[in-house]
Amino acid sequence: MFDLTVSPEKKDTRSGFGQGLAELGDSNPNVVALCADLIGSLKMNAFQKAHPKRFFQVGIAEANMMGVAAGLATAGKIPFTGTFANFSTGRVYDQIRQSIAYSDKNVKICASHAGLTLGEDGATHQILEDIGMMKMLPNMTVIVPCDYNQTRLATLALADHHGPAYLRFGRPSWAIFTPAEDNFVIGKAQMLKPGADVSIFATGHLVWKSIQAAQALMEKGIDAEVINIHTIKPLDVKAILDSARKTGCVVTAEEHQRNGGLGDSVAQVLAMHLPTPMEMVAVDDQFGESGTPAQLMTKYGIDTEDVIAASERAVARK
């Protein structure tokens, strides 16, 4: 179990993307990068500086960026697009569906500032529907890493993965708790803490919250298993079923709408193969608002205490 008496180093997951992209720029000449006027926010500066001829600043024209990326993929390049999650999905869904997913283009859609933890920019920028939008597209891979190290590794892995992919990460400084050189496998869930009483399947920023919740639950006599579902699609069905069989109840935790996110995917698996008591920690059909990440996570029910309470409810239903 993680030692929660020692405060971990913190760093934003978007910087993990920037570091991974910079490394790819040096190691893979086919990798190109496109940005919609948010180079600093997406931490794409290092790639731009080192490889200016392979970097395309398209301006505030996200739909055009997706079309250009599709064209570059057709020519054998590996495009990584960068802008906020809201603009990476909601604003350009038609272009992604028609020009990238439908024709199975090798485009990596990299999206920062996702979820409520975007913070003070408010509801217009805090997209909470993007995982659902992306996972419903045929051919699309959806990855939501949990910390700086894993975001870097996911970025590196995507260059070797053929096909369209959506990589979702965030703005705030967050605990770094996975190894810098971990074995990251797309589609393979990551066991963080074995347990016997309840399975907590978490993704993104909620993985750290779930680790904290598991520690508190242990003090209450509940042995929680924590599994990081960093790949929403393809989903690691075996890991979910193996854990649910062992513990007999399940909690999902995510920074996303309850509808369409990780919880929906896990519920579908359980309904088809292993009906199991289940609770979901997610935003309940609401838009966000302006506030600090901590304030918003508490208000909208996706904080550590919410994972604890959901776990207790799930155990009581066994």
- Which are the catalytic amino acids? 62
Q: Strand, coil or helix: what is 193?
A: strand
- Residue 183 — left, alpha, or beta (φ > 0 → left; ψ -120 to 50 → alpha)? beta
CA distances 42 to 54, 59, 111, Å, are: 16, 14, 8
- Distance from C-alpha of 134 to C-alpha of 56, rounded to nearest angstrom: 24
Q: Do strands 10-12 and 55-57 pair parallel, antiparallel, or not at all (unpaired)?
A: unpaired
User: 233 and 101 in contact (C-beta within 8 Å)?
Assistant: no
Question: Which two structure tokens, joined as six digits, stand for 100?
Answer: 């990238």
**Do 46 and 20 contact (CB within 8 A), yes or no?**
no
Q: How many angstroms separate the CA atoms of 145 and 170, rounded?
A: 10
* Residue 251 β-bridge partners: 200, 279
Assess contact for 117 and 296: CB atoms under 8 A: yes
Question: What CA–CA distance (Å, rounded) separates 245 from 302?
Answer: 25
Structure-block tokens of residue 193: 């803490």
- Classified as helix, coil or strand, 216 is helix
| Six-digit token string for 92 | 């350009």
* 132, 264 Cβ separation under 8 angstroms: yes
- Secondary structure of residue 279 in the 3-state scheme: strand
What's the rounded Cα separation, in Å, for the pair 39 and 26?
18
